[in-house]
Chains A and B, each alone.
Chain A
């Protein structure tokens, strides 16, 4: 038989299959429901899982996969009491300037080391007072953390060298502080000193957190004032005093954070244990923490993979149940249409014609269910996003996967009933009532 004939027969078979299925609309519809829900749940679950992990991975990526972040950590309450014999109020902890230079000197593959002093202070201009983070840092903060200069300029080496009283504001803070004035060339007051505004910036990765707790979550960090590190050191000093609700606390802390930029990602992996060993040697207490975005990213991906497998398995089981439903119905259909099978055999149908006929019906059912399921499965994540605000991503691969599985289920679960139909003895089948 020619290809043309095969194609023609296939089209006729599909038409015939649809016709037979339409004969029992309710039954066919209910049978398809199993596949519809299965396909829909595969797509929707994977979309929700993908969305959740995408957000987490984006947050981590913004930390920079070439970077290793070291943060000062305030020692826990108990260790502080045991450590501070003699009732001193001065709490000495955190990263030192020396740590930075040691890192550069000893760890191979270090590109740059960015020190940061992060002080929570109120910034004042005229009647406005905004609590914010005063970040003392070096000019290349711009490249390492990722800052877009909107107006004016960022800090420069000369600012650093001369300990200039200049500052750069994030645009959000500038809007709050200078609702009516042009912030450039204005001066604002932090603690007891005045700083001239030289630039407005926007942090490219606003998710980046530098909270002391070391968690990834925290307040939005659009309230940043950047000043030269040397200025921060001379204006605020190393000892920070904090008075709150009658308590009085002094902390001696040199640096709040060091961001180590490695030359490439492979260097990150080797440097991670080296930095830990180095810091352990010079810090008696555990007053720092290491954040390796690359490692976090890897963990997040691992978690995502497990998550996907679990969700996918649940969805696949529902598809399987749908497939069994189809098989069940097709077996019933074969019994019901035994007479028809006998007639067709008598009129010249070969065994494989009968197999094809029932297989086509099953595949039409499952592919039909698959199409409806894909449509609902693509809509569901949109609704979920709309209602809960969760991010969802429908990937093309998940749609193809679900659709492919539904088609495969049609074939796998259709083969047995179709074969059972073909193996019927035509004489017996014709006699069947």
Chain B
């Protein structure tokens, strides 16, 4: 067993992961420990990159952070609520309200237009789309697609699609934006554009958690967390982050 990090209790951190285990029982003999008691605090307004080789527990970490999966043990405090033990419906709600997702392959819904794609998270929270329409248009303008509201994803370039996804991740005003290899499918120039946009969001106070294996991408973050064998192996602080709400 590698040495476990001492838990650092940081009650002011908006995201607190305390002793999280994730175990997959594939069969009686084959039990996989994807995470082994991970502790992690993420401050509001910080920009965190998570790196690690495949099999390091990075993906499992991402799923748990995104409330797509529940840990086997431990607690996960997201904005004052322990989401680790929530039933499925509440977990769905937590995703819809507290997390903005940016995926590697954009994951826009093909039959919807740009503006409709941005509205999807609101739809599942029962927000009246007529009243929120103005805000959605603002977000589309923010990502530079104000003139393409009625385009479908297939009519947009990869970079444009990813920008729609960024606008969509913002629409519910989440606690954290969770980006999974956001530049993985983009050429370096548009990738840089997207990263700059994400950086801009962080500069405006959004908490960003970005999973990547690209050092250059990770270099933009305040903190880089390296994972290995289901644990946080080491953490590199690139630059200090502003402490909000203290």
A interface with B by C-beta (< 8 Å):
1, 5, 8-9, 12, 19-20, 23, 339-340, 342-353, 426-427, 430
Contact = CB atoms under 8 A, between A and B. Distances in A.
A349 B96 CA distance: 7
Contacts of B168: 347
Contacts of B111: 19-20, 23
A75 to B, nearest CB: 81
A23 B172 CA distance: 28
B68 interface: yes
A344 B68 contact: no
Interface residues of B, number: 29
Nearest to A15: B116
A349 B92 contact: yes
Interface of B: 63, 66, 68-69, 88-89, 92-93, 95-97, 101, 103, 107-112, 120-121, 123-126, 128-129, 168, 172
B69 A427 contact: yes
Contacts of B112: 19
Given A12-B123, A19-B111, A430-B103, A351 B93 contact: no
22 contacts: A5-B126, A19-B111, A19-B112, A20-B111, A343-B103, A343-B108, A346-B66, A346-B95, A347-B120, A347-B168, A348-B92, A348-B93, A348-B96, A348-B121, A349-B92, A349-B96, A350-B88, A351-B89, A353-B124, A427-B69, A430-B68, A430-B103
A428 to B, nearest CB: 10
B129 A350 contact: no
B8 to A, nearest CB: 29
Given A350-B88, A427-B63, A344 B109 contact: yes
Contacts of B107: 339, 342-343, 346, 430
A1 B124 contact: no
Contacts of A351: 88-89, 92
Given A19-B111, A427-B63, A427-B68, A345 B92 contact: yes
Nearest to A24: B111
Nearest to B126: A5
A329 B126 CA distance: 29
A350 B125 CA distance: 10
Contacts of B109: 340, 343-344
Contacts of B103: 343, 430
A23 B110 contact: yes
Given A1-B126, A12-B123, A426-B68, A350 B110 contact: no
Contact of A347 (B63, B124, B128): B124
Contacts of B97: 348
A346 B120 CA distance: 11
A346 B110 contact: no
Contact of B125 (A340, A348, A352): A348
Contacts of A349: 92, 96, 124
Q: Which of the listed residues B66, B69, B92, B120 has the most CB atoms from chain A within 10 Å of its own CB? A: B92
Given A348-B97, A427-B69, 18 more contacts: A5-B126, A8-B128, A9-B126, A343-B103, A344-B120, A344-B124, A345-B68, A346-B68, A346-B95, A346-B107, A347-B101, A347-B121, A348-B95, A348-B172, A351-B88, A353-B92, A353-B124, A430-B103
A353 B88 CA distance: 12
A1 B66 CA distance: 25
B153 to A, nearest CB: 11
Nearest to A345: B92
A347 B174 CA distance: 11
Nearest to B130: A8
A344 B110 CA distance: 12
B21 to A, nearest CB: 17
